[in-house]
Structure 1
């Protein structure tokens, strides 16, 4: 008697783990965080009263046009979470291949939360806001700062884990690039937290540097498939 194999015996994950699907997920990772940076910087250059040397990019979520930055946080965060799946597949079995994608995903979750919880208006922005910080911060502002801390910490750690990944793979220039990106955010955030001059600018430079490095890593993984 001839045995006929049932279609049900086909591995259900075969299609979802195909190179084409992974490439699509990596394309999302390539776009996600640079998209956030581009939208944020475009607003920074055009919003009345905004000064990147005085105001964090998160402040753009305030005012009548604040919805743009809120949507920017949420959309980029969702795309980052999705794109992290592509990184996990592409880096599976390599040094750092487990934790780098996990940390990228955590940074995406932090971005979503940063969009949901908006920091209080402060230091003259939006126009009409008194100079300096408010006498008391709202709980939403504290939640936003916590979400930002999660995002920054995850991005810094992801860059250092990728440095380990590249170092173990013999790609020294990429390893250095990863560590430089992580250090740029570490120092930029530290300077901003210390109240240093133009700390919001150093933070923006650090955040965008780390974000772009994650995007470049995803692009390199995509080209390698």
Structure 2
């Protein structure tokens, strides 16, 4: 008796990680931001939550989210192949996932009074500099992935998703540039909005191809 075997099961399982990775990260980070003493959403980037007695929670959050993103990238590679964007789109998303793991390993520096008792300004540490470096590379990779996959979505006739993908890529890199410039204040909130947007984008993209391959 001949049995037909398809990769749909493994593909959808891996894409499921892409659906939950973003909401998981946002929920865990936001829960900390609202409960940690001295943390101010208007002043402090979420990566700073890796400092203090409960900093390990944010470190684990970054690492787990990164691993889930890498798994989603593998699922996307299988779901997209062959065709435009089937190689570079998933590879760039995978690089972003690896950067999240690196950002968790190399802790962001404290500052701006967080954790409680920390000075407003600190001398950048080696791990703080590496945190910024790996995060920056990952953010650029994800923004590029948004643009690459927008072309694929356009060819599929998914114009709404294509424009969402393009807008997400541009907005995310712009929000990071604003934060990296040291503008503070509104720039922090804009970057938070950028993070939430890319998390939603990955979830929507993964759900789209999850349904397509189920």
TM-score (structure 2 length as normaliser):
0.93
Displacement after TM superposition at 1:145 (Å): 0.5
Answering whether residue 39 of structure 2 is matched by residue 41 of structure 1, we say: no
Question: What corresponds to 1:203 in structure 2?
Answer: 191
Question: How many residues are matched?
Answer: 209
For the pair shown, the structure with the greater C-alpha radius of gyration is: 1
Answering whether residue 187 of structure 2 is matched by residue 217 of structure 1, we say: no
Structure 1 stretch 23-32 or stretch 188-197: which is displaced more? 188-197
Residues in 2 aligned to 1:180 and 1:204: alpha-carbon distance in whole angstroms: 16
Question: What corresponds to 2:98 in structure 1?
Answer: 109
CA contact (8 A) 1:184 1:210 kept: no
Residues in 2 aligned to 1:207 and 1:194: alpha-carbon distance in whole angstroms: 17
After superposition, where does 1:14-163 map in structure 2 within 5 Å? 18-131=7-120, 133-134=121-122, 136-163=123-150
The structure 2 residue matched to 1:168, chosen from 130, 145, 155, is: 155
**CA RMSD across the alignment:** 1.4
Residues in 1 aligned to 2:158 and 2:71: alpha-carbon distance in whole angstroms: 26
Displacement after TM superposition at 1:79 (Å): 1.2
Displacement after TM superposition at 1:94 (Å): 2.4
CA contact (8 A) 1:28 1:82 kept: yes
Displacement after TM superposition at 1:35 (Å): 1.0
Answering whether residue 177 of structure 2 is matched by residue 184 of structure 1, we say: no
Question: What corresponds to 1:7 in structure 2?
Answer: none
Q: Detail structure 1 runs of 4+ shifted over 4 Å in the superposition.
A: none
Residues in 2 aligned to 1:161 and 1:104: alpha-carbon distance in whole angstroms: 11
After superposition, what is the alpha-carbon deviation per residue over 1:92-143, rounded to whole angstroms, capped at 9, x for unaligned? 1122111111111000100000000001110100011112x21x21100001
Residues in 2 aligned to 1:190 and 1:116: alpha-carbon distance in whole angstroms: 23
Displacement after TM superposition at 1:163 (Å): 1.0
Residues in 1 aligned to 2:205 and 2:181: alpha-carbon distance in whole angstroms: 31
After superposition, what is the alpha-carbon deviation per residue over 1:41-91, rounded to whole angstroms, capped at 9, x for unaligned? 111111111112211110000000100000001111111111211110111
TM-score (structure 1 length as normaliser):
0.89
CA contact (8 A) 1:43 1:60 kept: yes
Residues in 2 aligned to 1:165 and 1:48: alpha-carbon distance in whole angstroms: 45
CA contact (8 A) 1:159 1:214 kept: no
- Structure 2: stretches of 5+ with no match in the other structure: none
